[in-house]
Amino acid sequence: MKAIKEKHPLVMRWTHWINFPLLGIMIWSGLLIYWANDVYTVTIFGHTFVRFFPQWFYDALHIPQRLSEGMAFHFLFMWFFTLNGIFYVLYTAISGEWRHLLPNKHSFKEAWLVLLHDLHIKKTAPPQGKYNAAQRIAYTAIILMGAGSVLTGLAIYKPVQFNWLTWLMGGYHLARIWHFVLTLGYVFFFLVHVIQVVLAGWNNFRSVISGFEVIRQHEPKINIETDEKES
Amino acid sequence: MKKKAKVSLTIDQRIKRRNFISFGVFGAMGAAAYGGWKWLYNAPQEVPGVTAGTRAPLRRALNKTELFFRRLTFNENHLVKTYPVEMAVKTVRHNEDIGSDSTIDFDQWKLEVIKNNGQKLYVDLDQIKALPKTDLVFDFKCVEGWDQIQHWGGLLMRDFVRHFGLDEETSLDYMGLTTPDKQYYVGLDMPSAMHPQTLLAYEMNGKPLPPQHGKPLRLIIPVKYGIKNLKRIGSMTFSNQRPPDYWAEQGYDYYSGL
C-alpha cells in the first residue's frame, strides 16, 4: 500500500530552487571579475601546484575585457542572493524546520558513519530523520558559507565605509581570498550534492520539487519519522 | 469542497495530480526565469551619456545600489587605513597611460580651474608645492582586484579648495577632472572629492612623480578605485550634473566608491 508522506515545505523548495540559478549567476559574474586579475595559485615551497584555469578555458569562454559586465551582474544579483538567504533562514527559524537541519551533539560522530556507509565501507547507516547527520552538517555549513560570502563580499565592496567589517574579515586581502575560497567551496558542494541526489534516486529528488515522498506502508518502516501529519 | 474531491481520488491519482501540478509549476517558473535572464542579458544598452556600455536595467541597478550604500554608510569621516611608510612598495604598479601618454611641456603646465562664473584660474606647480604637503601611505585598490600599499605626497584637495577660495564651487554636487589632452576624464561626487584624505599628489615615494604615474600632478582619492585616480590633471570643473567619466562610459559603475 503506497502512501504520501510530506517532506519539504513549499518555502524550503522555493528558496532552494531560486538559489540554484542565483548562485550560478554569482559564480559566473564573480569569475568575470576575478579573471581581470587572475593571481591565485596554490604554491608550496616555490612550486606552483594549482594555477586556476588553463589557457583553453579562457579561450573557450572569451574571458578578457568583461570586468565591468561581471561587476554589473554581481552587484545586482547579490541582492537576490542575500534576500533569498535571509528569507530562508528566517523561515527555518520561525517554522521550526531548523530542528531537522542544525547538527546536534550526535551529528559529528554520525556523519562519519554516514560517510563510511556512502562509501560502501559500512553496511548500515545510523538512523536518521528528514536529513542524516552528514546532511545536517553540510546544509548548515552551506548557509554559513553563504553568510560568509555576503560578509566578505561587503568587506571588499566597501572596505572604507565598512572598515570594521573588513578588519573583522582579516583585512582587504584576506577577505578577498576568503571570498574566492568560499566560491571553490560551493563548486565542491555542488558536485557532491548532485552525485548524492543521483544516488538517492527519484523519490528523493521528486520531494524537492513536489514536497512529498511515496512510501510503502506494508514494508517495515525503518528510519522513517511518522510523527508528521498528512495534509 | 476541495477536500471532498481529494477523498474520492486514489493514492496513485493523488500522487499523479500533485506531481503534475508541482512539476508543471516548476517547469513554468524555470522557463520564466530563463526568459527573464534572456531579457536582462539582451536588454537594450543604455543611452550613451556620462555613462554607457552596459545594459539599461543593469545601469539602473548600479546607480540604485550605489545610492543605497551611500545613504547607509557614506561618511566623510570614515578614513582609509594608513600604514607606516616602510610598508609602501618600492615599485609602484602602473596600469594605464590613457591621457598621460601625449607630450606636453611640463614647464608650461598649469592646472586650469574653471570657476562658476566662467572665470578661469591657473595654478602652477610651485604655487601648489608652496602649500603644506601631506603624505599618505594607504592601500591603493584597483578595480581589477589587486591592491598595493603606496606612498603619495601632495596637497590635500581640501587645502587646495580653501586656499584658492573655491567654496562656492565645491558646494555643487560634482567635480570633473580632465587630462590636458582630454583623453581621460573622471567625474567625482563632491563628498568624495572633499574627503579628508583626497590628495593632489606631486610626489611618489618622496620623489617627484614619474611621467607614467601622472607627472606633474595627479589625483589620489583613496575612497575610490584606481580608475578614478586621474593622472596628469589638466583642468578642474564643477557642476550639479554628473561630469563625463571615461570608465563609466565603458560600462563601469559611475561612483566606483570604496
**How many Å apart are CA B217 and CA B122, to the nearest integer?**
14
**How many Å apart are CA B161 and CA B193, to the nearest integer?**
10
**How many Å apart are CA A158 and CA B80, to the nearest integer?**
11
- Reported as a single tens digit per residue, the pLDDT across A172-220 is 989 998 999 999 999 999 998 998 888 888 888 888 888 888 888 765 5
The model carries a pTM of 0.85
| Amino acid code (one letter) for A65 | Q
Average pLDDT over residues A104-123: 75
CB contact under 8 A, B258 and A159: yes
Stronger pLDDT, B4 or A142, i.e. the higher one: A142
Please say whether the beta carbons of B113 and B166 come within 8 A.
Answer: yes
Would you call A161 an interface residue with chain B, using a CB distance cutoff of 8 Å? yes
Q: Is A170 helix (H, G, I), strand (E, B) or coil?
A: coil
Please say whether the beta carbons of B231 and B213 come within 8 A.
Answer: yes
- Reported as a single tens digit per residue, the pLDDT across B141-191 is 999 888 999 999 999 999 999 999 999 999 999 999 999 999 999 999 999
Which cell numbers hold the place of A39?
593571481
Share of chain A above pLDDT 70, in %: 84
Going by the DSSP 8-state scheme, the letter that residue B131 receives in this structure is S
Stronger pLDDT, B52 or A116, i.e. the higher one: B52
Model confidence band, residue B113 (pLDDT cutoffs 50, 70, 90) = very high
Q: Tell how far CA A121 is from the center of its chain.
A: 26
Among A46-55, A120-129, A153-162, B239-248, the minimum mean pLDDT is found in: A46-55
Model confidence band, residue A221 (pLDDT cutoffs 50, 70, 90) = low
Query: Average per-residue pLDDT in chain B?
Result: 90
Pairing of strands B235-239, B111-114: parallel
Q: Which of B54, B79, B139 sits opposite A172 (nearest CB)?
A: B139
Sign for the pseudo-dihedral over CA of A141, A143, A146, A152 = negative
**pLDDT reading at B197 higher than 50:** yes
Please say whether the beta carbons of B183 and B99 come within 8 A.
Answer: yes
Torsion angle in degrees (nearest 10) through CA of B18, B21, B24, B25: -110
* Selected residue of A68, A74, A79, A81 to mutate for chain B interface (largest B Cβ count, 10 A): A68
pLDDT at A10: 86
CB contact under 8 A, B250 and A68: yes
Model confidence band, residue A231 (pLDDT cutoffs 50, 70, 90) = very low
Please say whether the beta carbons of B184 and B231 come within 8 A.
Answer: yes
Pick the closest to residue B76 from B137, B12, B157 (CA basis).
B157
- A35 burial (CB, 10 Å; 0-12 / 13-18 / 19+) is buried
- Reported as a single tens digit per residue, the pLDDT across B21-80 is 889 999 999 999 999 999 999 988 888 888 888 889 999 999 999 888 888 877 777 889
CA distances from residue A46 to A38, A43, A79, B34, B89 in whole angstroms, order as listed: 18, 6, 40, 45, 22
Would you call A21 an interface residue with chain B, using a CB distance cutoff of 8 Å? yes
Chain A residues lying within 8 Å of B23, measured CB to CB: 209-210
DSSP of B191-203, one letter per residue?
HHHT-TT-EEEEE
Pick the closest to residue A84 from A162, A157, A136, A11 (CA basis).
A11
Average pLDDT over residues B223-249: 93
**pLDDT reading at A64 higher than 80:** no
Model confidence band, residue A63 (pLDDT cutoffs 50, 70, 90) = low
Among A32-41, A78-87, B148-157, the minimum mean pLDDT is found in: A32-41
pLDDT at A45: 65
Which cell numbers hold the place of B130?
608652496
pLDDT at A230: 46
Model confidence band, residue B87 (pLDDT cutoffs 50, 70, 90) = very high
pLDDT at A49: 60
What is the ipTM score, two decimals? 0.86
Q: Which of A2, A36, A39 sits opposite B12 (nearest CB)?
A: A2
Average pLDDT over residues A29-57: 74
pLDDT at A61: 67
**pLDDT reading at A141 higher than 50:** yes
- Reported as a single tens digit per residue, the pLDDT across A3-19 is 888 788 888 889 999 99
Task: Give Rg (Cα) of chain B.
Answer: 26
Q: Domain ranges in chain A?
A: 2-217
CB contact under 8 A, B145 and A209: no
Would you call A2 an interface residue with chain B, using a CB distance cutoff of 8 Å? yes
pLDDT at B127: 93
Q: Which neighbouring-strand residues pair with B56?
A: none
CB contact under 8 A, B55 and A72: yes
Please say whether the beta carbons of B46 and B52 come within 8 A.
Answer: yes
Ranges of beta strands (E only) in B142-242 are 147-156, 174-178, 185-189, 199-204, 207-208, 218-220, 235-239
* Selected residue of A160, A161, A173, A231 to mutate for chain B interface (largest B Cβ count, 10 A): A160
Q: Which of B81, B145, B253 sits opposite A34 (nearest CB)?
A: B145
Name B256's Cβ contacts closer than 8 Å, sequence gap at least 6: B143, B224, B225, B227, B228, B247, B248
**How many Å apart are CA A178 and CA A186, to the nearest integer?**
12
* CATH number of the domain located at residue range(s) A2-217 in this protein: 1.20.950.20
Among A122-126, A147-151, B162-166, the minimum mean pLDDT is found in: A122-126
Run of H or E including B29: helix B11-41
Residue B137 sits at φ, ψ, to 5 deg, of -115, 110
Alpha-helical regions (H) of chain A: 10-34, 55-61, 67-95, 98-101, 107-118, 133-157, 163-168, 171-200, 202-209
Residue A217 sits at φ, ψ, to 5 deg, of -80, -20
